[in-house]
Amino acid sequence: MTPETIEGYGVRLRPCHLADVPEMVAGCADPETRRFMPLLPDPYDSDAARWWITEGAPAAWAAGGAAYTIADPASDLLLGSIGLTRLSAERATYEIGYWVGPAARGRGVASAATRLLTERAFAAGAARLELLTRTENVASQRIALACGYRHEGVRRAAGADGDGVRQDLIAWVRLADDPPGPIARLLPDLPDGRLTDGVVTLRPVEPADTDALYRLHSLPEVVANRVPPVVPQRAALARRCRLAASRWLAGEAADLAILDTATGAVVGGCALFYDEPATGQAMIGYSLLPEARGRGLAARTVRLVAGWAFGIGVARLWAGTRPDNVASQRVLERAGFRREGLSRGRLPGPDGARVDSVVYGRLATDES
């Protein structure tokens, strides 16, 4: 890589220069930038910006990487920054990273710059590019998918915040011979961000749902059907709510809050787990708070999720219930599922025991 100006997709990538200092300070001092780049100098002032331009960026180039200003092609004003860090010369592996200032967000600038630098890196001989995102940086994860980077897994404690606390990072990777274009998602976004039949509404789980879901999953009858059947720690539920959007993007699970449409209150939870993408099979689970039971909301929820799942290409949905959970079995039957059999000792029970599971299934070709 050499520090040449390149343009494409509506952005310009050029070497940093001292005229960038005001915009660089404004961008790097912004709370949202600092949230996901906690190791930036604090406070970030003009001295820090000048150091990067005169020493940091040249050092990145000298080490075999790249350090570009993302600029507006018309005005040449800084919109953000993007660069490469060489991880292994022998393996031709690099890490790509970027930030975009507040005024440029929501305009596709980061995606355009990432796409442009990705193409440049591969043309210069890179074989593998890694984009590491914090688990809660959903916007950056969407950028990775849009630019053809595939979810490869979680790097445990690979990052750190300003206090030295270790943080997990998600690895998104693109190879030189990967096909161009966005990655097709197993679990696309819900249409208009939610599903509803006018009585019940489903939307993605959010961090603010922690209290309601902790209350739900602490109920004895709900705990009995958890795997394992123990009351979750509140911190674990809070983490699940924080990471729900990330797991959805990775295609692992669609974690949904069930709302009473009339009041907007969270009355339960539902999740679709894409447990066998190769066969087109997904599993559904659900539960309601006591005050919402007996009103048909669970069956409505299952029907809504099933309709969406079959619409995105799932071929078969299945669910399992304990043999004594007659209420849940009736919900599944009302939602068009058929009883298929008994899996003996499938689930862990209390005190090391094993519990049978009654299996229900519904195919995309079944009549609703």
Q: What are the residues facing 260 on neighbouring strands?
A: 200
Quote the tokens at residue 191. 């249409």
**Average pLDDT of each block of 10 consecutive residues along the chain (368 residues)?**
92 96 95 89 94 96 96 96 95 96 93 97 97 94 97 92 85 95 94 96 97 94 86 93 94 96 97 95 96 96 97 97 93 97 91 91 91
The reply to whether the predicted model has a pTM over 0.85 is: yes
Quote the tokens at residue 16. 């940093």
Q: Report pLDDT digits (tens) over 240-272.
A: 999 999 999 999 999 999 999 999 999 999 999
228 cis-preceded (ω within 30 degrees of 0): yes
- Residue 326: phi, psi to the nearest 5? -65, -35
Q: Report pLDDT digits (tens) over 66-89.
A: 999 999 999 999 999 999 999 999
On whether the CB atoms of residues 47 and 22 are closer than 8 A, the answer is no
